[in-house]
A and B are shown apart, each in its own frame.
Chain A
């Protein structure tokens, strides 16, 4: 069950998307999210759906994974959709009236709009992590934020913290899985009972997990000191990030699609 979590997971590959400059990928993903909110019409959203699906195909990532990454937030999606259907009021006559509840055309429009937006945001950002290894991603963030170091902002330290945090996610998931298995083997009931019982049943998992997290943090700090880590000053990279010709073309193509998404507002009345 825990290993089904796909957030932040990376699937190595050799597609144009995998090899693209992570800085470009990161910035384009951010712009994509902004454009999802700019384009509030069926054409724009249509384009954004086609774009994200097309990119999954390009990256050779199975489309099933979109479903998998959406699974945990289905309740949120349903909740916002229902909220929109019932509480957005329009100027025209309501389509359906159930006592004090009125459903307007606008409500349904908004509901569809918000559902598509959420799905596209999740699918798009997941694609970024699926195709980019955490180490490369943090390197990109560090480079993009470098101008801030002029203002004495600890860019390198922040990037290092993010790298370590990302590195620890799978580790801790694995560790949790192991400890849960061990306690289940001793008869722990983790997935049944009342809320109070469940919280209590988690203690045998949480205590060893915390202890092991601190132990690992300690060991990592020691290992870093042994290799004379002293922060970002004067530190060089093994792999410098460089935009290739292919990356430029992909970026230009993405920008064109984004412009189309924005322009669609003028086309749709």
Chain B
């Protein structure tokens, strides 16, 4: 595997030189391998959203560099639009960006901006729509007739249709019911598996991160607090709690069991793994 994203000493300051200037990111460095699924978590206001707007050049670093596929994002500022197509960004509550008359046209907006042929656009729109569970019939509807969850899918499909090499999602499941949440995240995971695109998922839900991410980046007041494999990050539960974060419920159960003196691993963070561990422990007794 080769490195796909590299962030070097990235700092970003809002309103520099103004009385209300704030340091949103402070000397952030990390790298992501191609095809990885990385979760980003951190308390509200820790700089998660600011960080992700740097990946496709919507924000320009105050200091530091970002490399996507080995290329410096800001080597030629006039050419930044190229990276917008390389890096697909799904913002929080993306359903508020829909504007077209039909769902089809809205999903086609990104591919059309890329200057693709009509045949290619059509193929991509249908593929992205199918991935997001949108039926052919709904493609001709107005996006404003749809329910909140469906609108969200249209907005995500609009970014998927651009087939970005790096897909970044900021709380894609926020405000959805548990079923809608699992469906959307499952579809994203399926997309990740099938296209092999590098994926970054920003989430407040420890369960979601535990379920989908290979690696986890923890931000705390603009700095990288942890960056490691998912199991290793959740094994540091006390530190996470101190940062105002949490760990998956099942990890909490296992921590308690350990405190009561049972000899079990600390890095249990998904239910299937927990079941396996319990069965193994039972056999050992």
Contacts of A65 in B (CB 8 A): 18
Stretch at the interface among B62-70, B84-92, B210-218: B84-92
A93 to chain B, nearest CB (A): 48
Enumerate A217-239 residues with CB–CB distance to B below 8 Å: none
Stretch at the interface among A116-124, A134-142, A145-153, A179-187: A179-187
**B98 in complex: contacting residue of A11, A188, A208, CB < 8 Å:** A208
Q: With A185-B58, A187-B114 as known contacts, state yes or no: A203 contacts B88, CB within 8 Å.
A: no
A264 to B218, CA, bound (A): 64
Is there contact, CB below 8 Å, between B159 and A186? Answer: yes
Q: With A185-B58, A187-B110, A188-B113 as known contacts, state yes or no: A62 contacts B88, CB within 8 Å.
A: no
Q: Is B187 an interface residue (CB 8 A)?
A: no
A260 to B89, CA, bound (A): 59
Q: Is B99 an interface residue (CB 8 A)?
A: yes
B92 to chain A, nearest CB (A): 9
Contact bitstring B154-186, A, C-beta under 8 A = 1, else 0: 000011001000000000000000000000000
Contacts of A187 in B (CB 8 A): 81, 84-85, 110, 113-114, 162
Contacts of A62 in B (CB 8 A): 17-19
Query: How many inter-chain residue pairs (CB < 8 Å) link A and B?
Result: 61
Contact bitstring B95-109, A, C-beta under 8 A = 1, else 0: 011110000000001
Q: With A186-B110, A186-B162, A187-B110 as known contacts, state yes or no: A211 contacts B17, CB within 8 Å.
A: no
A207 to B101, CA, bound (A): 11
Q: Is B56 an interface residue (CB 8 A)?
A: yes
Is there contact, CB below 8 Å, between A182 and B99? Answer: no
**A184 in complex: contacting residue of B19, B20, B84, CB < 8 Å:** B84
A204 to B110, CA, bound (A): 11
**CB nearest neighbor in B for A203:** B99
Contacts of B98 in A (CB 8 A): 208
Q: Is B94 an interface residue (CB 8 A)?
A: yes
A180 to chain B, nearest CB (A): 9
Q: With A64-B17, A65-B18, A204-B99 as known contacts, state yes or no: A182 contacts B94, CB within 8 Å.
A: yes
Contact-size category for A: 20 to 34
Is there contact, CB below 8 Å, between A178 and B20? Answer: no
Contacts of B109 in A (CB 8 A): 186, 204
Q: Is B15 an interface residue (CB 8 A)?
A: yes
Q: Is B29 an interface residue (CB 8 A)?
A: no
Is there contact, CB below 8 Å, between A184 and B58? Answer: yes
**CB nearest neighbor in B for A186:** B110
Q: Is B205 an interface residue (CB 8 A)?
A: no
Contact bitstring A1-18, B, C-beta under 8 A = 1, else 0: 001000000010100000
Contacts of B17 in A (CB 8 A): 62, 64
Q: Is B277 an interface residue (CB 8 A)?
A: no
A86 to B45, CA, bound (A): 54
Is there contact, CB below 8 Å, between A181 and B96? Answer: no
**CB nearest neighbor in A for B55:** A185
A11 to B99, CA, bound (A): 35
Q: Is A189 an interface residue (CB 8 A)?
A: yes
Chain A to chain B contacts (Cβ below 8 Å), 7 pairs:
A64-B17, A65-B18, A179-B96, A185-B84, A186-B159, A204-B99, A211-B144
Q: Give me the interface of A with B, judged by CB distance under 8 Å.
A: 3, 11, 13, 61-62, 64-65, 178-179, 181-189, 203-204, 207-208, 211-212
**Given contacts A182-B97, A204-B99, could you give 12 more A-B pairs where the C-beta distance is less than 8 Å?**
A61-B19, A64-B17, A178-B91, A181-B58, A183-B97, A186-B158, A186-B162, A187-B81, A187-B162, A207-B99, A208-B99, A211-B144
